[in-house]
């Protein structure tokens, strides 16, 4: 365990491989490479964790009221940031595009690739899907 903090639903625990967030009946472990972003509202003492999600599905969010975040916030910031190896925004249709991110997975070789599509970019058209696939291939080639 690297850090922990008490919250309204239980203890939030950060390890070298994942963040454990309390849920009814236990904890959910979220790998650092699976956390899209973590935000802190100091006034409300609220940590919001947003997970990455497959194309077309809404991301899961965890809102955790934490009494004394202390070191936990530093560890979360450091390990989420450290998981990002490459992140590129690629325009697709002039107004919209995709963010392609390669993330390091603790204890594993290779990267986990995440593609975030702008709202308003329709995935229905084959040419759009082809452009996205080409963009992913180009970004992957930068690091693999």
pLDDT higher than threshold 90 for residue 144: no
Residue 143: the pLDDT is 94
pLDDT higher than threshold 90 for residue 67: no
What is the value of pTM for the model shown? Answer: 0.88
Residue 74: the pLDDT is 97
pLDDT higher than threshold 80 for residue 56: no
* C-beta of residue 50 within 8 angstroms of C-beta of residue 36: yes
Measured CA angle at 79 (ends 58, 63), to 5 deg: 40
- In order of their start, the domains of the chain are 3-82 (2.30.29.30), 84-143 (no CATH)
Q: What is the pLDDT of residues 105-132, one digit of tens each?
A: 988 999 999 998 898 998 888 999 999 9
Burial 108-125 (b: 16+ CB within 10 A, else e): eeebbbbbbbeeebeeee
Residue 102: the pLDDT is 96
């Amino acid at each position: 365990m690297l850090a922990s903090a008490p919250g309204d639903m239980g203890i939030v625990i950060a390890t070298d491989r994942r963040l454990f967030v309390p849920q009814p009946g236990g904890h959910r472990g979220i790998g650092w490479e699976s956390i899209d972003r973590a935000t802190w509202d100091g006034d409300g003492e609220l940590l919001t964790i947003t997970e990455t999600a497959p194309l077309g599905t809404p991301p899961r969010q965890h809102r955790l009221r934490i009494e004394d975040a202390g070191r936990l916030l530093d560890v979360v910031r450091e390990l989420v940031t450290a998981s990002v190896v490459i992140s590129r925004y690629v325009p697709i249709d002039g107004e919209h595009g995709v963010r392609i991110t390669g993330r390091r997975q603790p204890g594993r070789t290779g990267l986990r690739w995440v593609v975030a599509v702008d709202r308003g970019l329709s995935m229905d058209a084959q040419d759009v899907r082809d452009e996205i696939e080409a963009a992913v291939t180009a970004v992957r080639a930068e690091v693999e």
